[in-house]
Amino acid sequence: MQWLRAVWREIYGLFVDDGSFAVGLVAWMVIAGGALRQLHGGHWGGVVLFVGLAGVLGENALRSAKSKSSRRRD
């Protein structure tokens, strides 16, 4: 049974390296999809989705860089 748990962790780690990043991406897609549908965003959907996803990626990269630099100082 231990090997099954280890395999599951490895497979999970392939797709989800940072849980907060994955949650942020899914949350933005749900928020943007709902807002664009309610506001009849039409042609702006792709732009809004891209900008939001780029923002989530940028925030995650900055947070990751800060945590790595603070670990090096210790």
How many residues comprise the chain?
74
pLDDT (tens digit per residue) in 44-61: 889 999 999 999 999 989
Q: Where exactly are the structural domains of the chain?
A: 19-73
Q: Taking the model in full, what pTM does it have?
A: 0.71
- Is residue 56 packed enough to be buried (19+ CB in 10 Å), middle (13-18) or exposed (0-12)? buried
Q: Give Cα 21 distance to the centre of its chain.
A: 3
pLDDT (tens digit per residue) in 61-74: 998 888 777 777 65
